[in-house]
Amino acid sequence: MIMSSTSIMNKEEYTSTCGGSNSKNKWECLKKWIHCICVVAFDLELGQAIEAIYPPHIKLSEQERSNVCYLAFPDSNSGCMGDTQYHVRIRQSGNNSQENSTLKNYDKNAPIFLRSDAYHYWGYVYFRQVKDRTLPRGYFQKSVIVISKLPFVNFFTEVVALIAPKFFEMGNSAMEAIVNEIANWPSPVPGDVINLPLMGVLFQTYIPNHYRKLSVSDVASNSTNPRKESDRLLVLTSVYEDNIFQSLAVVVTHIHLLWELVLLAEPIVVMASSPTMCSKMVQALTAMITPLKYNADHRPYFTIHDSEFKEYTTDTQNPPAVILGVTNPFFAKTLQHWPHIVRINDTEYSENFKHRIKKSENLKILDSKPGVYTEYKPFLQKDKAIIKKLLRGIQTKRPGEAQTILLRRHLIELTESFMIPLERYIASLMPLQKNISPFKATPIPNLFEQEEFLSTLSSSGPQLTSGIKGDWVGLYRRFFKSPNFSGWFHTRYAELSQKIEAIHLETLSQADLTTWVQGKQEVELVDMILRIRQKLQKSHEYDVPVGHSVQDMLRERINDITRTLPDDLKIILNHNS
């Protein structure tokens, strides 16, 4: 399956390219943006095979290499001629799924939906297929695929569109220069406008942080111009999303139905005629619930050769929570039991695009007729005003960017209306500050009681911020069973626990321990010292939000207690510190 290439540099050659003894640092810098770049070609004997990996010391497991090879080429039934771009998501092998320390600082400040993926790679594919009589098969078929931990779909789509043609034209030397330039980029910093030079182009873009998002005009007004005169400036107003209306236009009358299916992490298969179309649609679907992170699996492009094929297609009664984008007509039969199927032929709105109830007699038309096939009954009513506004925009040829802004604002408001009551309730699980004692164990957040939460909706539910009517309670009950709820809850619960730990540490740092030690046995004093040390260590390991001043005061509290101990105990404690 996997072909080696004589064009691959060995590690020593690459060391000299990257600056001798500093090459290790350069590789670490590179990992902040990309894991590697793979070139996949078609070999008559082996089929799709990896021709080169840059930088060459990067090792992929056999399963990862196989998935990269198959995903780097459109399915044979797609008939893609010329240049084709799309993106994929690849599961990491178990031995490679450890946390990447170089991205840890980025993840601390990035919105949860833009954090690096601990268990998957993103792959950004540029495939070229053109006639070439000089080759045995009569065709040139090759892909460049950028592998990254970052979900910067819009940004890396532009990057691979720049570097792949350069590589096809110039070969190995071009890719060595590209990898070197990326290794010299500054770290991705949420909240900053960043400037990234590459092959004569200066990419200028913005990475949002927890607190604030910039608009299109903000990025323009914040723009500096540090480029060389020869560089072309390319401003990207978003690293992660493109014109989502372009993808969702075909389902514009069904956006509320699809929003519910995505919110509840229902199994969805998107069937399209090209990998570009299906990967964009899958990406647009998962983005419908932003700023809530889509916590279930999703594969913007999926083939029958994928290592998870059996995992996703074997259970005909209970398909997994995943959104699959496919082009092979084989899936129309293989996945006909799936509860929700979106069939698209193009990306333009059509009056013929229907919402069809998925019954057995409909299955024979799945190969050809576009539509949403489902038996799902939405909990909420449609917002007819926004649909009417978007349809009018299509008729009057309103620019796609303006349509995207309208649609994005509506979906964010809908998601936030749904999430605000949950955020308000989970904040109430925080124990009262007066109950956090420096001389007792750190309390834990109160339990999330689903029925208690539901009882609050009549007075402080989504109706306060959304005009959409329907069975909100029923939607919440269904949401509680989804991976999107469990993912959100575990993240927020962990943040709440860290906040309590920080308050407890601050309370402890201000406690009068010189009074507390009076009358205490030595074992109690030693126990308190060890507890404070352990808390300091945990605060460092788990990034508990405490300042340096609190940490310094805690060390003072340790000294306060230590002074009261016999010399032999002091020596033992100092030795073990």
Written as one letter, the residue type at 71 is L
Cβ-in-10-Å burial (0-12, 13-18, 19+) of 136 comes to: exposed
| pLDDT, mean of residues 345-357 | 67
Of the candidates 137, 227, 130, 197, the one whose C-alpha atom is nearest the C-alpha of residue 169 is 130
* Planar angle of CA 524, 528, 529, nearest 5 degrees: 120
Proportion of the chain above pLDDT 90, given as a percent: 47
Check whether 333 has a pLDDT greater than 90.
no
pLDDT at 16: 36
pLDDT at 356: 67
Cα 490 to Cα 443: distance, rounded to the nearest angstrom: 17
pLDDT tens digits, one per residue of 23-65: 667 777 888 999 999 999 987 667 788 999 999 888 899 999 9
DSSP single-letter state for residue 470: B
pLDDT tens digits, one per residue of 238-274: 899 878 999 999 999 999 999 999 999 999 999 998 9
Sign of CA dihedral 491, 156, 43, 171: negative
Check whether 509 has a pLDDT greater than 90.
no
Check whether 216 has a pLDDT greater than 50.
no
pTM: 0.86
**Higher per-residue pLDDT: 231 or 312:** 312
Structure token pair of residue 518: 């009076």
DSSP single-letter state for residue 98: S
**504, containing H or E segment:** helix 483-509
Cα 142 to Cα 130: distance, rounded to the nearest angstrom: 9
pLDDT band with cut points at 50, 70 and 90 for residue 566: confident
Contacts (Cβ under 8 Å, ≥6 apart) of 35: 58, 121, 147, 148, 149
pLDDT band with cut points at 50, 70 and 90 for residue 315: confident
pLDDT tens digits, one per residue of 515-558: 887 877 888 888 888 888 887 877 776 677 777 787 888 888 87
Q: What share of the chain is helix, strand, coil (3-state, %, to 5)?
A: 45, 15, 35
Written as one letter, the residue type at 301 is Y
pLDDT tens digits, one per residue of 163-208: 999 999 998 899 999 999 999 999 899 998 999 999 999 999 999 9
